[in-house]
Amino acid sequence: MHEKKKTWLTFLFEVIVLAVLFTIVQYAITVGLINQSYHINITSMCINIILAVSLNLINGFTGQLSLGHAGFMAVGAYASVIMTNNLGMPFIVGILAGCLAAGIAGFLIGVPTLRLKGDYLAIATLGFGEIIRVVLQNIDYVGGPAGMVGITRLTSWPWLYASTIVTILVIVNLINSSYGRAIISVREDEIASELMGINTTSYKVLAFVVGAMFAGLAGVLYAHFFYIIKPETFGFLKSFDIVVMVVLGGLGSTTGAVIAAIFITFLTFALQKYAAVRMIIYSLILIIVMIYRPQGVMGSKELTRKTFARIWGGKK
Amino acid sequence: MSLLEITNLHKSFGGLSAVLKFNFRLDTQELVGLIGPNGAGKTTVFNLITGVYKPNGGSIVFNNENIAGLAPYNICKKGVARTFQNIRLFKDLSVIDNVKIAFHKNVNYNLLNTILRTPAFFRGEKIIEEKALEYLKIFKLEDKRDEIASNLPYGEQRRLEIARALATKPIMLILDEPAAGMNPQETRELMQLIEWIRQDFQLSILLIEHDMSLVMGVCERIYVLDYGQIIAHGLPEEIRNNKKVIEAYLGEEVG
Ligand SMILES: Nc1ncnc2c1ncn2[C@@H]1O[C@H](COP(=O)(O)OP(=O)(O)O)[C@@H](O)[C@H]1O
Ligand SMILES: [Mg+2]
């Protein structure tokens, strides 16, 4: 009974912390404490968190190296803009359509490619990511190479915040369950996993589809913040950026993915003025991390309630 | 009644026939040994039964159903579980998670319950946790539940692998050289454990052993494999004195 009460209190505390964080930023935006460039920074940060956490489900937890995440982001972005701008639907319909379209694309690409292993899978997903980009370039309805412009800014702080939390919650809950254990067992030893009665292919596809859906969500938020989307934005370099975040944070750590996404966003932001040295510093950090901590910042560890309880207990 | 009936099984790798004209029978609740020199094809037979390899020919009838060529996860669901010659645990996961994964095929909550953390999820997880602990207790591993599997001593890793296999609730358990790398004391204990789980879980067991003396004690019948073919089969005493068997093993010692 006592244990249950404690769990509820912890939960309540967490909700309050999240609500306070939300309110502070919302207030700062409303009264103009946050200028345009900071606003862009916060938006990019949330979008990067969604991208990194969702790719980590595929690359980190399932162990399937995918290099086409930006492709699903593109599908989500374009599908949602068609709904909102071209068809005049409300934002929520755009969000759902974006996620759904990206999920379907994930399924269609995942089923044939996930039979491949390691490098072959990486190359196949890279190829599909590029195919998505090239296809978009050649559809006049979505503007061809020029992309879609004049998109209404609908991505507000509440949408961003809610999307980021939902992404993290869904993926953390999925991983910490029997389904999550099945997914991780695929990464650990595919043959042993099969012999435990787990249809490894279907779990790879599940992780791929869920990851793609959230990449789609990130695409929706991106499109409705930056007014314009172009096929180039979602090319190989974007996919590579997301992979870097996941590797930097630690494959198989959601906490790591979040930390790395925040770090990379701020780094990009801070180095904006020094465009010439930006890529050098960026690469240097990567090299240093890979030499001194090849498993990434967090390895496969997570910050959980237990970790906080330990820190708290240790201080007393 | 025969539980497993293998007829004319054939598997080749490139030009090499690793298993040829292989015939085999295992009755319900029998403990049968498959022995033979190194490279005879024993592990290949196990890989064929469990679906890791697809046979080039022949049939594997298990529980009145031909399972030859089915996917491994389907064969597991039909009630076949195995261990590996070189242990294949989920090395970086905890001891208890290794066993919990075996219960996934019967998980009784769905993805929606998982994501929304409904009461059904917590109930289901509690059941899985309790069942996993039961199996750890049987194999005296409950104190190590939160240790990383690869940190266990060798003998305990072997036991954990058997625990994990049993947790899939098999009708037939197949063990690939379970005593490999164990000292005589550990081997004796393991053999007693195998005998005990057969009684307690009412299992049919197929056991591969390289060391002939080991299987003589526990197995009811023995098949001897050499160069992918059965060269003898019968009661332990018959095998012990079989000329072909002695030659096969002698040949190995000389070569
Ligand atoms: N995947 C494989 N590819 C090629 N040859 C294999 C493969 N698996 C087994 N073999 C060959 O099949 C033969 C039997 O091997 P194996 O079944 O492991 O023997 P045992 O378990 O009796 O020691 C060996 O010659 C081995 O090299
Ligand atoms: Mg072998």
For the segment A273-284, the average pLDDT, to the nearest whole number, is 81
List, as ranges, residues 254-313 from A with C-beta within 8 Å of B.
300
Task: Give B34 or B240, the one with higher predicted confidence.
Answer: B34
Closest ligand 1 atom to residue B228 Cα is 14
Nearest to B101 among A181, A191, A300 (CB): A181
Residue B177: give its domain's CATH number.
Answer: 3.40.50.300
Asked if B84 is an interface residue toward chain A (Cβ–Cβ < 8 A), one would say yes
Question: Which tens digit of pLDDT belongs to each residue from A37-79?
Answer: 888 999 999 999 999 999 999 999 999 999 999 999 999 999 9
pLDDT value at residue A1: 54
Q: What is the pLDDT of residue A11?
A: 84
Percent of chain B with pLDDT over 70: 98
| CA B45 to centroid of ligand 2, rounded, Å | 9
Task: Please check whether residues B174 and B255 belong to one and the same domain.
Answer: yes
Ligand 1 site, residue B39, Cβ cutoff 6 A: yes
* pLDDT at B41 exceeding the cut of 70: yes
Question: Rounded to an integer, what distance in angstroms lies between the CA atom of residue B194 and that of residue B166?
Answer: 11
User: Is some CB atom of chain A closer than 8 A to the CB atom of B95?
Assistant: no
Helix (H, G, I), strand (E, B) or coil at B63: coil
- Could you tell me if B148 and B177 lie in one domain? no
Q: Which of A174, A178, A188 sits opposite B107 (nearest CB)?
A: A178
CB-CB contact of A177 with B114 (8 Å): yes
Domain boundary among B164, B187, B208: B164
**Any domain includes B227:** yes
Which helix (H) or strand (E) segment is B102 a member of? Answer: helix B95-102
Provide the residue count of chain A.
316
- Name the domain boundary from B103, B132, B164: B164
Among B88, B114, B128, beta carbon nearest to A173: B114
Residue range(s) defining the domain that contains residue B122: 91-164
Confidence (pLDDT) at B117: 95
Do B23 and B55 lie in a common domain?
A: yes
In this structure, what token pair is assigned to residue A153? 């800014």
- Same domain flag for B160 and B184: no
Q: Are strands B172-176 and B204-209 parallel, antiparallel or unpaired?
A: parallel
DSSP symbols for A131-194: HHHHHHHT-GGGTGGG-B--------HHHHHHHHHHHHHHHHHHHSSHHHHHHHHHHH-HHHHH
Domain count across chain B: 2
**Is B11 within a domain?**
yes
B157 C-beta neighbours (distance < 10 Å), count: 19
| Segment among A273-287, B30-44, B182-196 with least mean pLDDT | A273-287
pTM of the model: 0.92
User: Residue A280: what pLDDT?
Assistant: 85
Say if B84 falls within a structural domain: no
Whether A14 contacts chain B with CB within 8 A? no
SS3 B206: strand
**Enclosing H/E stretch for B157:** helix B154-167
Adjacent-strand bridge partners of B132: none
Distance CA A258, CA A245 (A): 9
Q: Say if B194 falls within a structural domain.
A: yes
Are A189 and B88 inside 8 Å of each other by CB?
yes
| CB within 8 Å of B136: residues ≥ 6 apart | B95, B96, B99, B142, B144, B145, B163
Q: Based on the fold, state whether residues B75 and B98 are members of the same structural domain.
A: no
**Residue B50 contacts residue B80 (beta carbons within 8 Å):** yes
Suggest the residue from B46, B76, B114 to mutate for an interface test with chain A (most A CBs closer than 10 A).
B114
Of residues B60 and A292, more confidently modeled: B60
Q: Is residue B85 part of a domain?
A: no
Quote the pLDDT of residue A314.
60
Shortest CA distance to A131 belongs to which of A78, A68, A80? A68
Q: Does the ipTM exceed 0.90?
A: yes
Domain co-membership, B216 together with B240:
yes
User: Do B150 and B196 fall within a single domain?
Assistant: no
Query: Which sign does the torsion angle of CA B74, B75, B79, B84 carry?
Result: negative
Atom of ligand 1 nearest to the CA of B36: 22
What pLDDT sits at residue B254?
46
Give the integer Cα–Cα distance in Å for A113 and B204. Answer: 39
For chain B, the average pLDDT equals 92
Q: Is residue B56 located within the same domain as residue B182?
A: yes
Q: Is B17 helix (H, G, I), strand (E, B) or coil?
A: strand
In a domain, B250, yes or no: yes
CB contact under 8 A, B114 and A177: yes
* pLDDT one-digit tens code per residue, B181-227: 888 888 888 888 898 999 999 999 999 987 777 788 889 999 999 99
Q: Kindly state whether residues B253 and B178 are assigned to the same domain.
A: yes
Q: pLDDT per residue over A133-172, tens digit each? A: 999 999 999 999 999 999 999 999 999 999 999 999 999 9
For residue B217, what pLDDT is reported? 83
Tell me, yes or no, whether B86 lies in a domain: no
Same domain, yes or no, for B32 and B137? no
Last residue of a domain, one of B123, B139, B164: B164
Tell me the pLDDT band of A307, cut-offs 50, 70 and 90.
confident
Contacts of A195 in chain B (CB under 8 A): 50, 52, 72-73, 76, 81-82
Q: B127 and B174, same structural domain?
A: no
Could you give the 3-state DSSP secondary structure of residue B166? helix
User: Which positions 150-169 of A are in contact with B (Cβ < 8 Å)?
Assistant: 169
Residue B29 belongs to some domain of the structure: yes
Give residue B143's pLDDT: 96
Same domain, B154 and B214: no
- Burial label for A68, CB within 10 Å (0-12, 13-18, 19+), is buried
Residue B72 to residue A194, Cβ atoms within 8 A: yes
Helix and strand element counts for chain A (H, E): 13, 0
Annotate A30-88 with DSSP letters as a single string. Answer: HTT-S-HHHHHHHHHHHHHHHHHHHHHIIIIIS------HHHHHHHHHHHHHIIIIIT-
